[in-house]
Structures are given as structure tokens and as C-alpha cells.
Amino acid sequence: MSDARFSSVLVIGANSAIASALVSKLLEKNPNTKLVAISRSAEPSGTSSHESQIRWIQSDYSEQSMSSICAILGSREEKFDRVFICNGILHEGEIGPEKRLQEVNVSSLNKIFHVNAFIPILWLKHLVPIIEKDLPSVVTVFSARVGSIDDNQRGGWYGYRSSKAAMNMLLKTAAIEYRRFSDNIKFLAFHPGTTDTPLSKPFQKTVPSGKLFKPEFVAERLIMLIENLPEEPALNFLDWEGKTVTW
């Protein structure tokens, strides 16, 4: 694959720190790219210089909104060869990583699973008609190493770990079905590493020196990874270095 294949890009969860950096990098590197950005909030400042390349769409991430957006994009005969689903939650208000079983509660689990697992798979449900199938395409969903069952040696973080593990299984299953539509579609579950974002802010004190990454660095690494994905398997689980993460 080459950078030229970033001809039509869809970024979901586009106002997150890594996604915002990704949008900027893609538009800078590929002046011919047409990009659709979807987020809960309105278009941020700083994108006016790429006004001809980018279209910003607001969504409340209800399934009705997802269906409507995909139907509108489909009616314009838009096909995307690069899709990034960047939604994710680790903490919000009273919700945070559980250190003990006694801290686990249904309300928090419902919220975390909804954002980390249900929203991505519902997007994949409605994106089927507008993913490019005649040319090489890549769908990237943000995962996390802590979602690896094999890698879990420390425990804790019940909601976040299990929601990411659930997302990985949903993505694996979707990748199998998408391959029935076209062998040109690849999937990437991406672990960005600990990045300097609001999501990781409360936990940055314990990050080793040199292991807290800037969003721009992670965006660059992700773009490079996508252009060097192997032909098989249909789904890879890779970290920011391009190393395989065990399931």
C-alpha cells in the first residue's frame, strides 16, 4: 500500500486527542484526501486551512444517528478506504478503574461497555455499504493491551479490561464477516501505548520515562503501520511499535 490510498477517510470519535492529531497528519500528508470526521461536538478551530478536504458531522452515537449518517454518506455514493474508530472511555465522573472486586458496579460497567465495545460494533454494522471493497481498505479500531486476556497478569481495571476484550472479540467476528464481502478489507486493533491525553492524565505519574507519547507521534506511527499491514490475517492486533499483541 502507499500513502496515495488515503483517498477517502472516515474518522469516528474525531475530537479525541489522538484522533485530532490523526486528522491533522492525514490532511497534511495527503493533499488529495477527502476526510469525513464524526464527533459528539462541533468542528474544532484549526481545520479551516483544510476546509476543502474535510467535512465535520456531529453524532450523539445513538444507533439511529449512526444509521442516518451512514445512509446519507451512502446516498452520495461515498466509499471509504480508511476508517478509524477512536471512541473510548477509561474514567468519567464517578467512573474509574476498579482496583478491587468490591468496586465493580453495573452502572459503570454498562457505561464502559457501551462506549468501548457497543459503539464500535454498531458503527461496523452500519458501515458495511460504504467501506471500499474493490480496492485495498483498512478499518482501525482503538483497542488496548490491557484488553488482552493472555497479557493480564496484574488484575484490576475490571470494566476497562473486559470491555476492550469484548471489543476485540466483536472486531474479530466482524472481520470474518467483512471478508465474505471482500478480500480487500483488513482490520487493525490498535494499542497506542500510554499517550498524553485526558484519558491517561490521572495515571501518568507511574509511566516510565520515555513511554508517555505525544498524540502526534502515535498518529504518525499508526499511519505507518496501516501502510505496512501484512496480507494475512484479516485482523491484526498491534501496538504502536508494530509488535503483535496477544489476544
For residue 129 the three cell numbers come to: 455499504
Residue 74 falls inside a structural domain: yes
Give the phi and the psi of residue 105 in degrees, each rounded to 5: -145, 155
Q: Do strands 8-12 and 82-85 pair parallel, antiparallel, or not at all (unpaired)?
A: parallel
Residue type, 119: I
Please say if the pLDDT value at position 1 is more than 60: no
Looking at the DSSP bridge assignments, the partners of residue 236 are 188
Residue 245 falls inside a structural domain: no
Please say if the pLDDT value at position 4 is more than 60: no
Residue 85 falls inside a structural domain: yes
- Greatest alpha-carbon span in the chain: 53
Residue 247 falls inside a structural domain: no
Which residue matches cell numbers 444517528? Answer: 65
**Sign of the four-CA dihedral 181, 73, 76, 34:** negative
Residue 105 falls inside a structural domain: yes
Please say if the pLDDT value at position 108 is more than 60: yes
B/e letters for 125-141, b = 16+ CB within 10 Å, e = fewer, are ebbeebbbbeebbbbbb
Residue 244 falls inside a structural domain: no
* Confidence class for position 189, pLDDT limits 50, 70, 90: very high
Count how many residues are written for the chain.
247
* Confidence class for position 3, pLDDT limits 50, 70, 90: very low
The CA angle 140-141-142, to the nearest 5 degrees, is 120
Q: How far apart are CA 134 and CA 77, in angstroms?
A: 14
Q: How far apart are CA 71 and CA 91, in angstroms?
A: 32
For residue 85 the three cell numbers come to: 474508530
* Out of 14-18, 122-126, 134-138, 210-214, least confident range: 210-214
Name, in order, each residue with C-beta under 8 angstroms of 70's C-beta and a sequence gap of 6 or more: 126, 127, 129, 130
Structural domain that includes position 174: 3-239
Residue 246 falls inside a structural domain: no
CATH number at residue 192: 3.40.50.720
Closest CA to 91 of 239, 214, 201: 201
For residue 113 the three cell numbers come to: 461497555
Q: How far apart are CA 236 and CA 137, in angstroms?
A: 14
Report the number of distinct structural domains present in the chain. Answer: 1
pLDDT in tens, 38-85: 999 877 655 555 677 899 999 999 999 999 999 999 998 889 999 999
Q: How far apart are CA 69 and CA 55, in angstroms?
A: 12
Identify the DSSP state of 18.
Answer: H
